Amino acid sequence: MSTQQDNSFQAIIAHAKEYGFVFPSSEIYDGLSAVYDYGPYGSELKKNIRDYWWKSMTQLHENIVGIDAAIFMHPTTWKASGHVDNFNDPMIDNKDSNKRYRVDHLIEAHAAKLEENGQTKEAETLLQEMDALLAKDDFAGLKNLIESHKIVCAISGTCNWTDVRQFNLMFDTKLGSVTDEADTIYLRPETAQGIFVNFLNVQKTARMKIPFGIAQTGKAFRNEIVARQFIFRMREFEQMEMQFFVRPGTEGEWYKYWKQARLQWHLSLGIPAEKYRYHDHVKLAHYAKEACDIEFEFPFGFKEVEGIHSRSDFDLTQHQLYSKKKMQYFDADINVATGKPYGNYIPYVIETSIGLDRMFLLIMAHAYEEETITKEDGSTDSRVIMHIPEKIAPIKLAILPLTKKDGLPEIARDLMDECKNYFRCFYEEKDAIGKRYRRQDAIGTPFCVTIDHQTKEDNTVTIRYRDSMQQERILLSQVKDIVTNAIF
């Protein structure tokens, strides 16, 4: 990250804390690494992003239904899914600092430094070599690569490394009071498995016909070793996942459909297309047929925000094997090639998986601007403004009586009562109006309405638009509709 990028990222983190978006967890005890709490405006924004996703998946798709599965699942789930045996990252420890690193992150950070120094070719070669070794699980080769490039620990500054080892990312805990091994259960590392194990329950009770999807949002937990970059990589985070069950042989077209549909969802929030790109996976998981990431240009570069995976019938087949329960679907549609119904099969799955916290960070990074304003007399002023898309802004409308007297608060309270059932409003009568506008800009409120003495005479108010700062006189009775039209 360049110094300028780092400064702007640090400014976003500071702003998130100062204005009640995100706080370090248990901060009075100095925080807990890679765990964060959402404050008054943060929890509102997070909920709005979640609702926007949920609506687009379920309400706008007749063939997608939702579930809310438990975080704790039968431990065999994670054996079947492969997480017990394969959800590992290669790690290396520095013997002098005892600091543990994920091998790919350590090498990537070194490559980023090479690139900053203009050694682009060397950086590319290093990453290619790393990819090849990771693909072969060649741990000795990875250690050699680190040593031959003299990659040092950021704390000790030495190149004194242990061997590379695998480290499982799942948190475990005990169920019940008896602490033998049979009671060990895991905090789910992804929400997807709650969908797979409920596949038949949902299909039967909601009478779903293939192709259909099951959507879910919820917490997931990973013991990330290198947890950094604020809420980009956390140990406790939230996912929004959808598994789309299709007839085998049609997965290619559905993969293309969801790849495109998910990017459209991002763009529907008004975020410029050039901030996004696809990253098609070259190295595929053993069950995957195709996979890609949707990447966003964060202040620290293009990084994954969402994954789209063509997962074949791997998960359902594994659960059938381990549970000994049939995971088949009966397809009564006629196959034109044979003239007979497609019959019983295990469906194939296209997954869309996005991190809610990462999407939150994306919105914060997109929205944050330190703006210099040139006034009519040529002097300058500045403001911090959050260009949060109207649909998901924490507060949609600030209602501001100019003074605390002369009946203005009463009119403002009436407007508040009229609007608060439809969208989130904020009422404030303290401080000069300019100061109040600035506070709303800083939390991303798209509309402010000021009630003044003229309101009493002609029932008009001043509406002020966040991004342009333009103000216009409108009828009090128009306020609710103007805001409602902008947020739906």
Binding site for ligand GAP (CB under 6 A): 190, 192, 222, 224, 233-234, 237, 239, 241, 304-307, 351, 353-355, 357-358
> Shortest approach of ligand GAP to residue 307 CB, angstroms?
4
Least distance (Å) from ligand GAP to the CB of residue 266? 12
The 10 Å CB-count burial string (b at 16+, else e) for 2-11 is eeeeeebbee
- Which residues make beta-bridge pairs with 345? 329
Bond before 211 cis per omega within 30 degrees:
yes
Tokens for 410, please give them.
């009463």
- Identity of residue 31: G
Distance of closest approach, residue 403 Cβ to ligand GAP, in angstroms: 46
Nearer residue to ligand GAP within complex by CB, 114 or 231 = 231
* Cβ proximity to ligand GAP, 51 vs 331, nearer residue: 51
Least gap, CB of 388 to ligand GAP (angstroms): 19
Maximum Cα interatomic distance, the chain, rounded to a whole number of Å:
81
CB 229 to ligand GAP: min, Å: 9
Phi, psi of 438 (to 5 degrees): -60, -40
Phi, psi of 140 (to 5 degrees): -65, -40
Question: In the bound complex, what is the minimum distance in angstroms from residue 444's beta carbon to ligand GAP?
Answer: 22
Rounded to a whole number, what is the distance in angstroms from the first to the last CA of the chain? 37
Distance in Å, CB of 239 to ligand GAP, minimum: 5
Residue 102 structure tokens: 């994920």
Task: Output the CA angle 464-466-472, nearest 5 degrees.
Answer: 20
Judged by CB, which is closer to ligand GAP: 53, or 237? 237
Question: Shortest gap between Cβ of 240 and ligand GAP (angstroms)?
Answer: 9
Nearer to ligand GAP, 305 or 483 (CB): 305
Q: How far is the CB of 9 from ligand GAP (least distance, A)?
A: 16
Nearer of residues 130 and 356 to ligand GAP, judged by Cβ: 356
**Of 144 and 198, which has the nearer Cβ to ligand GAP?**
198
CB 248 within 8 A of CB 348: yes
The residue number with the shortest CB distance to ligand GAP is: 355
Select 258 or 437, whichever has its Cβ closest to ligand GAP: 258
Q: How near is the Cβ of 312 to ligand GAP at its closest, in Å?
A: 14
- When the beta carbons of 64 and 479 are compared against ligand GAP, the nearer one is 64
The smaller minimum CB distance to ligand GAP, of residues 240 and 408, is found at 240
User: Which is nearer to ligand GAP, 190 or 390 (by Cβ)?
Assistant: 190
Q: Quick count: other Cβ atoms within 10 Å of Cβ 332?
A: 8
Whole-angstrom distance, CA of residue 199 vs CA of residue 103: 36
User: Which one, 239 or 312, has the nearer CB to ligand GAP?
Assistant: 239
How near is the Cβ of 304 to ligand GAP at its closest, in Å? 5
Residue 366 beta carbon to ligand GAP: minimum distance, rounded to whole angstroms: 15
Q: What's the burial of 214, exposed, middle or buried (CB within 10 Å: 0-12/13-18/19+)? A: buried
Q: Which of 58, 363, 393 is nearest to 240 (CA)?
A: 58
Query: 187 or 192, CB closer to ligand GAP?
Result: 192
